[in-house]
């Protein structure tokens, strides 16, 4: 995940980009390879995306690497995928740190293998003081589970007399979510041809621009990423206002 200090010029980039990296298994199947080969091939576009986004000045990049529903997959595929996570983190964390990338994780980390949990702790500690860009990996994460956990946390605080139910507004609820320290997502990219968000960041995607690419993840390169950024630049983000109000605000 090299992220050099090279300067690049491109269209306007979002403040927070989230990506559902879909299509590894289908990519492998089309090449008559095992699914694990597709997951391994998917590391290359992650490196390219991190480098390109950092060079463009993007501040927050969140990648959906393993969903809470993915636990339903065959055990051998999960085992190989978790081993690949450990391998990739160990091989990339030095360069991420040297290039000012802060690495954070969200999801049910306690469900992961202890070796992977320790690798995650080390990577977060190593990069916690970096400020060039924050790269968040969602592992064993589900949007509905995140919403339920937040509701339970607030319910416990109410029961303990720490807060009054009337104090729970959108801002207070957002603070209880795993994405509390990150801004809402400006642009969501999903590769692989599917047109759905698959239980990812349900709260933070409320006003996101959605970009769906037919390209399978291992083939998603920086040219494809720039097309997504061009789409984002073309959008008028109204947040409930009229187009005229937005235009007048920019005058």
Whether 130 is catalytic: no
Token digits of residue 188: 């969501």
CA angle 103, 89, 63 (to 5 degrees): 50
- Return the SS3 of 225: helix
**Is 22 labeled as catalytic in the residue annotation?**
yes
Which of the following is catalytic: 24, 55, 70, 221? Answer: 70
- Is residue 184 a contact partner of residue 204, using CB atoms and an 8 Å limit? yes
Helices (H), 57-203: 75-98, 114-127, 143-159, 170-175
Which of these is catalytic: 22, 55, 99, 186?
A: 22
64: burial class by Cβ within 10 Å (0-12, 13-18, 19+)? buried
State the catalytic residues: 22, 70
């Amino acid at each position: 995940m090299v992220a050099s200090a090279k300067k690049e010029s491109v269209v306007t980039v979002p403040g927070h980009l989230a990506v559902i990296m879909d299509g590894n298994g289908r990519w492998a199947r089309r090449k008559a390879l095992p699914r694990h080969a597709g997951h391994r091939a998917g590391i290359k576009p992650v490196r390219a995306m991190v480098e390109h986004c950092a060079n463009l000045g993007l501040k927050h990049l969140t990648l959906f690497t393993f969903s809470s529903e993915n636990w339903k997959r065959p055990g051998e595929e999960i085992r190989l995928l978790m081993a690949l996570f450990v391998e990739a983190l160990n091989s990339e964390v030095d360069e991420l740190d040297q290039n000012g990338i802060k690495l954070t994780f969200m999801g049910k980390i306690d469900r992961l293998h202890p070796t992977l949990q320790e690798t995650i702790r080390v990577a977060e500690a190593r990069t916690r003081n970096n400020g060039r860009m924050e790269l968040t990996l969602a592992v064993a994460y589900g949007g509905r589970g995140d919403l339920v956990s937040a509701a339970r946390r607030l319910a416990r605080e109410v029961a303990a007399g720490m807060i009054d139910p009337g104090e729970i507004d959108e801002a207070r609820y957002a603070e209880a979510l795993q994405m509390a320290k990150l801004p809402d997502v400006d642009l969501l990219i999903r590769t692989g041809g599917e047109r759905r968000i698959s239980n990812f960041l349900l709260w933070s995607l409320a006003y996101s621009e959605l970009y769906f690419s037919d390209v399978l993840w291992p083939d998603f390169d920086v040219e494809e990423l720039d097309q997504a950024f061009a789409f984002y630049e073309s959008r008028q983000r109204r947040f409930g206002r009229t187009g005229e109000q937005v235009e007048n605000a920019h005058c």
